[in-house]
Amino acid sequence: MKDNCIFCKIANGQIPSHTLYEDERFRVIFDLGPATKGHALILPKEHFDNIYELDDETASNAFLIAKKMASAMKKAFEADGFNIIQNNGEPAGQTVFHFHMHLIPRYEGDKAIGFWKPGNITDEELQVLEEKVKKEL
């Protein structure tokens, strides 16, 4: 646990929360500033600032929980769609620096989340980008 991290405290039960799911390593809670009805967060009990710090086991388990929760929440809330969002760093919209995944049920016409306007890219530009990434893998 990291000092003064609110999600460490919630995930480890030091601050009470409505818990939708809990196991040894994770807790799933409702977001208190929900984008839509049922918006929830997957929190690992161990502290990681962001995705870059996650170990492989936590990363894979987090997605298994996302899959399980998405199905259950879609049924429970009769959602029409579902977003899974995960922000890293301020420019990406991260405001709480304890890794978490957003589970956001979507409802026809809710307009809850704004998506990007598609841009343009050339094949040459894609080639340069592809090479840059492959060097880092």
Nearer to Zn ion, 5 or 51 (CB): 5
**C-alpha gyration radius of the chain:** 17
User: How many residues bind to ligand AMP according to rule CB under 6 A?
Assistant: 10
Query: What residue ranges in the chain does DSSP mark as E strands?
Result: 19-22, 26-30, 40-44, 81-85, 101-106
Phi, psi (degrees; rounded to nearest 5) at 114: -90, 130
Q: Which does 47 bind (CB under 5 to 8 A by kind): ligand AMP, Zn ion, none?
A: Zn ion
**C-alpha distances out from residue 119 to 69, 115, 123, 129, Å:** 33, 12, 14, 15
Is the CB of 81 or the CB of 93 nearer to ligand AMP?
Answer: 93
Contact in structure between 50 and 125 (CB atoms under 8 Å): no
Q: How far is the CB of 72 from ligand AMP (least distance, A)?
A: 19
Q: Answer yes or no whether residue 4 interacts with ligand AMP by CB under 6 A.
A: no
- Binding residues among 81-120 for ligand AMP as defined by CB under 6 A: 87, 93-96
Just list the catalytic residues. 100
Residues that bind Zn ion (CB under 5 A): 2, 5, 7-8, 47, 98
